[in-house]
Amino acid sequence: MQTLDPRLRGDDVPNWKSAVHSIAFAALFLLLAPAAQAADSLDNRIGEALFRRMWVAAPTATQAADGLGPLYNARSCATCHPRGGGGRPPDPAVEGDQGVGYAIKLNDDPVYGRQIQSNAILGQVIEGRPRVTYREETVRFPDGETVRLRHPTPVVEDLGYGPLAQATAMSARVPPRVHGMGLLDRIPAEAIEAEAARQAASGGPVAGRVNHVTVDGKRQVGRFGWKAMHPTLDHQDSEAFSLDIGMSTPAYPEPWGDCTPAQTACRNAPHGDSKQFEGLEIPSTVIGLIDGYLRDLPPDGSLEAPKDKAGTTLFADTGCAACHRPSWRTGEDPAHPALSNRDIFPHSDMLLHDLGPALGDALPMGEARGSDWRTTPLWGLNRLAARDGQLSLLHDGRARSVTEAILWHGGEAAGAKDRFMTLPAAERKRLVRYVLGL
Ligand code: HEC
Ligand code: HEC
């Protein structure tokens, strides 16, 4: 069991109460359950409290929860991933609406850096307000049914540090659902490589690729994020602290997060790096607890194989399963026998595919080009089924329904999209129902 992190002792954050609650509950659990399991549960409850913690600006007397910003997007992980779910883009019809966790990535603007930070601590200037405008288009199925698609143009209002550089490209992102990450993390890297090799050898139009990322001097298989640019949860979560919350971690030790040398006021602001926390704002123990919490968060959907057999066949025959690979087997993890060697049903091959220019951006990440995206795991959509028509699917949340999401598929997925379009209406409904049952 990890030792209790000093960051959870006497502090001034609103989540403190819930952390105490968790610890009390976990202590009770300790008395009742076998030691290993209880240790897990205690750490995970602390991890959850840290995932929900509202970080504050430095300096504070205890230093336990400070170091926010100076520029940031949100004060906690949970603000953007409420209950581990995904986010949504701003609604242009609602004045001032910011969406949930909607962020605009940049290809290293000399002033603004890698992301627009829409919030700032007292005395600092925000970088801007990410918004979106839509142009609607009507798509007609061969049988006459129509669907409206909305083409997004991301915009940043109220730029605080002058115009973006000419060469700067923008790419809007909504937060993905984070349930089931631990199981995706436990798919052996060699199995993902083998899937890519199998697709390449098949010689068909669908040929997914691994996004190889070099982290800590090691070439690894990227698996998290919309472009699979993070090989581990540690890497993904550390980047979130830097870009989204503005806090330093072992992987991103700058206390000013994404502030560039041109943003001198931000670079000179007080920070929360502290000797008692490895000289950082977020020490490795805190990252470890949050990773651990996410690693054990079960998927929202069923852990069993889909029961709708006709739907499974239709999903495969239409060509969806070529990328949305239904199942994987997790590897051996001695620390978690329950999660080892088990079949899981995320409906993703974990590979990058070129989905065509309509979904593309001008922001390559690692080996992912602008129009490459990681096949999104579809498990957990069952939780959202009742809201189909008002969802925020795809990397920028442009698709309001599963049907819209499918119609945006192009490139390697053009064949599957075309087959979907020519299915009889009842079959289309059945396929959508299948996806919304995952
Ligand atoms: C400002 C909103 C915001 C905050 C705050 C935020 N995230 Fe995210 N998160 C995102 C977005 C947007 C993405 C997708 C980024 C991408 O791939 O382009 C993401 C992606 C992720 C993923 C990858 C999920 C997947 O399907 O691969 C994980 C895990 C994650 N975040 C965890 C965290 C943790 C842990 C924190 C707190 C330390 C955090 N996030 C804070 C917006 C946020
Ligand atoms: C060539 C690979 C490929 C094929 C074939 C394919 N998809 Fe996808 N799918 C993707 C990728 C990649 C994304 C992520 C695109 C993005 O976010 O811009 C995606 C995203 C989705 C999403 C959005 C999920 C979310 O949470 O945002 C749905 C729904 C979906 N696909 C369903 C289908 C269905 C149904 C079919 C068959 C008609 C299909 N896909 C065929 C690769 C594929």
Pocket of ligand 2 (CB under 6 A): 206, 226, 318-320, 322-324, 353, 355, 359, 373, 375-376, 378, 393-395, 402, 405-406, 409, 412-413, 416, 420, 435
The pLDDT, as a whole number, for residue 40 is 62
Distance from residue 287's CA to the centre of ligand 1 (Å): 14
What's the CA gap between 377 and 296, in Å, rounded?
17
pLDDT at 331 over 50: yes
* 36, containing H or E segment: helix 35-52
Distance from residue 270's CA to the centre of ligand 1 (Å): 26
Instruction: Please state the rounded mean pLDDT for residues 267-280.
Output: 93
Here the tokens at position 311 are 């739907």
**137 to each of 46, 57, 184, 253, 379, how far by Cα in Å?**
47, 45, 36, 45, 29
* Averaged confidence pLDDT in the chain: 90
Distance of CA 65 to the CA centre of its chain: 23
Residue of 106, 244, 392 to test ligand 1 pocket, by largest number of atoms within 8 Å of CB: 244
236 Cβ below 6 A of ligand 1: yes
Percent of the chain, pLDDT > 70?
91
What letter does residue 319 receive in the DSSP assignment? T
pLDDT at 301 over 80: no
Identify the band that residue 64 occupies on the pLDDT scale cut at 50, 70 and 90. confident
Is residue 67 a contact partner of residue 55, using CB atoms and an 8 Å limit?
yes
Instruction: Please state the rounded mean pLDDT for residues 10-34.
Output: 40
Q: Read off the pLDDT of residues 158-204 as tens digits, 9 standing for 90 and up.
A: 999 999 999 999 999 999 999 999 999 999 999 999 999 999 999 99
Identify the band that residue 65 occupies on the pLDDT scale cut at 50, 70 and 90. confident
pTM score: 0.92
Is residue 51 a contact partner of residue 78, using CB atoms and an 8 Å limit?
yes
240 Cβ below 6 A of ligand 1: yes
**Sign of the CA dihedral 288, 293, 296, 297?**
negative
Q: Residue 82 — φ and ψ, nearest 5°?
A: -60, 130
77 Cβ below 6 A of ligand 1: yes
Ligand nearest to the CA of 282: 1
Which is the closest atom of ligand 2 to the Cα of 402?
29
The pLDDT, as a whole number, for residue 23 is 47
pLDDT at 347 over 50: yes
Ligand 1, atom 30: closest residue by C-alpha: 237
Distance of CA 175 to the CA centre of its chain: 5
Instruction: Please state the rounded mean pLDDT for residues 141-167.
Output: 97
Distance from residue 419's CA to the centre of ligand 1 (Å): 33
Ligand nearest to the CA of 171: 1
Distance from residue 243's CA to the centre of ligand 2 (Å): 27
Q: Read off the pLDDT of residues 199-244 as tens digits, 9 standing for 90 and up.
A: 999 999 999 999 999 998 999 999 999 999 999 999 999 999 999 9
Ligand 2, atom 41: closest residue by C-alpha: 320
Distance from residue 122's CA to the centre of ligand 1 (Å): 25
Ligand nearest to the CA of 117: 1
Strand partners, 224: 230
pLDDT at 89 over 70: yes
Distance from residue 348's CA to the centre of ligand 1 (Å): 19
Which is the closest atom of ligand 1 to the Cα of 223?
27
Distance from residue 204's CA to the centre of ligand 1 (Å): 33
Ligand nearest to the CA of 391: 2
Which is the closest atom of ligand 2 to the Cα of 86?
26
Identify the band that residue 26 occupies on the pLDDT scale cut at 50, 70 and 90. very low
